[in-house]
Amino acid sequence: MSIRQKSSAHDLESELRACRKELRELKSRLDERGLALNLQHEDAAGLTQLVAELDRAKQQAESASRMKSQFLANFSHEIRTPMNAIIGMTDVVLNTKVTPEQHRALTIVKNASESLLNLINGVLDLSKIEAGQFALEVRPFDLRAEVERTVSTLGLTAAEKGLELICRLPPDMPRHMQGDPIRLRQVLMNLLGNALKFTPSGHVCCSCQVEPKAGDDCVVRFRIEDTGIGIPADKLGTIFEDFTQVDSSSTRVYGGTGLGLSISRKLVQLMGGDIFVQSTPGQGSAFEFHARLGQVSLPDTAHAQIFDHAATVLVVANNPLIRTQVKELLAFWGLDTEDADCMECMGRDGKNVDLAIMDTDFGDFACMELMLSGGALHELPSIVLTQLGDTSITSGAGQVKAVLTKPLLQDELLRALARVFGLRLHLPDNQPTERSLPRLRPLEILLVDDVSTNRELAGLLLGKMGHTVHEASDGLDVLTMISRRAYDLIFMDLQMPVMDGFTATGIIRACEQGLPAPTDMDDSFLVRAVREKVHGTYTPIVAMTAHALLEDKERCLGIGMDGYLTKPLRLEEVHAVLSRFSDTLDSPPEPEKNPDQPETPSDPIPTFSGQQAAPASGATGYVERMLAALSAQYELDREEAMPLIHSLAETLTTHEQGLKSCLEAAAADKLMHHAHGIKGVLLNMGLTEEGLAAKKVEESARAGASPENLRQEAESLLLTTGGILEELHIALAGEHT
């Protein structure tokens, strides 16, 4: 073989080796790419599986949430049913002749039942707050009456544990506020209930201060202090968290869900404030919170110095907080005071004082001995303070002039003092002052609303103001009636069947100006009759609806309406509208004065008594809330209001049956109509929260919500209307027995 041939063979082998190497590299790279592709495929498959699993988990969570909501709603309804019966029958008995002791006991039963329903609604409230669907219901209320009512509800609990429950409020505290009394009471009930639960001995004291008014609002500070077991320092930062207890042992010993403080903090924050706690283990705790409220009245000085230092009163109590509380009240009312505990009174003869106010201190021997025959204060006229349920001392026994149960309420003590010293007083919380509005020239008013209860209520209000009311149920009725006669004013509902208020107003305004009616009815006999009757005239039309949105008002004014009233109607607002179209007559006559009753200063602000303050809004005490609203808004007494409540029951029954039929037929339009009707009657009758629930269903139906969501909302509304009707039937049955 030649050298050239050898060289060529060598080159070929080198190239072959190079090719093999390149092939191996290519194969290696292909293997790696194949592996990567396999991995990508596996990752994609895994991701698809993960998404599917997450979707299933989401559906399960949503299903669980719906089931939880349904369970809570059903659970709440099942408890409301017997509780509403208890409250309703308690109302029936309260309206019969009962002794003062029975009246107070029944009132406590009723208040406790309402409080129980409030607690049941705590879990529902928490979910609403977290979902951003919770709103406060601002209304006028009596701050002192609300706080005292809340504290007195827990009087029996405190007495059973041998605890002093003290309600220490400034005697000149401004009484009339704007805020949500129901939620304020819920916070107080949570804090007071906890204090009583975790206090084995000693006292629980609720105090309140109103800071100087800044603008239209004021800050009200509350303090709940106790002598209980206290809270460890390392737990103070967690007690306001959901479902949190101080420790596991407290859950077993004292019970509770751990929701009370969490809900309280959220409610206080909604009221523009915050809540704080100070505590020393083994000594007690003090919870403080503040809320921003609208202040309606000035400090209450109606009974300041009313006794004009005409007597000296000896205050006997072992608890220094009770002594201080009573002395502050007596000094404000103009009575001189001395104070001592029971042991210090053993050697006294009582000659330098005119009256003793004596606390029995749960039957303390030294205190009881003072009043026995031969006791140091036996011959001295006295007012005795004792715990609820103690019948060992009665008024009229010896020199005992009155027996008051603790916690001591200011007006109860003032009444007792007035009886002892022969002074007749007008206490505003028992005898509300009537609002005085200028009398107006009577008008002929056409009232238009498709709900008979609304017509009856508005008609009664206008009738009491001296106006003549004619009724129509829809826009077509309006056209028929104004084609026959003239009216001074029309109150027009907006959303009605057959013909709504907007359409009717448009036709009326066009006919007045001799223009074509903005509908296909222009050539109808009815519109021609209307045009012939009203051409060249002008009849004021005021919208009357539950809608309160700015665009609704602008639409009403744009179509030619002259005013706008939002349901439920308010006496002052209706009077203000009417005064634009009617002349003012002479001033209202002064009420006849009782010559035997001395004049006392009175606050011009209307009084909202403890009986009128609405109970827990968590859907309970419906009749009481309606009576309170009708009294506050329309000055109707029970006899005048009950026919309206009876009418409400009939209207609500009709709409409830219609709502059920719509659910079965999946008819969203008709469902919206019935929800609208329910909303109107409930808002008009003072059941604001329930009316807003109906409004939500109406808006969902209008917005085209999914059938499942609409069904859930409608079923929740049916639970509410069922509870209302159940209580109404009980109350109305009691009216006829």
Q: What is the pLDDT of residues 570-604, one digit of tens each?
A: 677 788 888 888 887 754 444 444 433 433 333 33
Say if pTM beats, i.e. exceeds, 0.85.
Answer: no
**Residue pLDDT, tens place only, 398-420:** 788 899 999 999 999 999 998 88
Model confidence at 614: pLDDT above 50 = no
Q: What are the phi and psi torsion angles at 42 (to 5°)?
A: -65, -40
The set of residues, in sequence order, having a beta carbon less than 8 Å from that of 33 and lying 6+ positions away, is none
Could you tell me if 537 and 486 are in contact, meaning their C-beta atoms sit under 8 angstroms apart?
A: yes
- Asked which of 90-94, 204-208, 479-483 is least confident by mean pLDDT, the reply is 90-94
- How many C-alpha atoms does 696 have within 13 Å on its Cβ side? 18
**Residue pLDDT, tens place only, 517-561:** 887 787 888 888 888 899 989 999 998 876 544 456 677 878 888
Establish whether domains 312-421 and 444-584 are of one fold: yes
Query: Under CATH, domain 312-421 is a member of which superfamily?
Result: Response regulator (3.40.50.2300)
pLDDT of residue 664: 73
Q: Please give the class, per CATH, of domain 444-584.
A: alpha beta
Percent of the chain with pLDDT strictly greater than 70: 76
The domain spans of the chain are 15-131, 139-243+257-295, 312-421, 444-584, 622-735
Q: How far is CA 587 from the centre of its chain?
A: 36
Report how far residue 175's alpha carbon sits from residue 295's, in angstroms, rounded to the nearest whole number.
Answer: 8
Reduce the DSSP state of residue 288 to 3 states and report it. strand
pLDDT of residue 42: 62
Q: What are the phi and psi torsion angles at 477 (to 5°)?
A: -60, -40
Average predicted confidence (pLDDT) for the chain? 78
pLDDT of residue 676: 82
Cα separation values, 469 from 236, 444, 485, Å: 62, 6, 13
Q: What is the mean pLDDT of residues 708-727?
A: 84
pLDDT of residue 601: 35
Could you tell me if 620 and 80 are in contact, meaning their C-beta atoms sit under 8 angstroms apart?
A: yes
Domain 15-131: which CATH number of 3.90.25.10, 1.10.287.130, 3.40.1160.10, 3.90.1310.10: 1.10.287.130
Q: In this structure, which topology does domain 139-243+257-295 adopt according to CATH?
A: Heat Shock Protein 90 (3.30.565)
SS3 content of the chain, % helix, strand, coil (to 5): 50, 15, 35
Could you tell me if 453 and 648 are in contact, meaning their C-beta atoms sit under 8 angstroms apart?
A: yes
Residue 588 has a CB neighbour count (10 Å cut-off) of: 11
DSSP assignment letter at 678: H
Reduce the DSSP state of residue 601 to 3 states and report it. coil
Q: Please give the class, per CATH, of domain 622-735.
A: mainly alpha
Could you tell me if 489 and 578 are in contact, meaning their C-beta atoms sit under 8 angstroms apart?
A: yes
Q: What is the mean pLDDT of residues 53-72?
A: 69
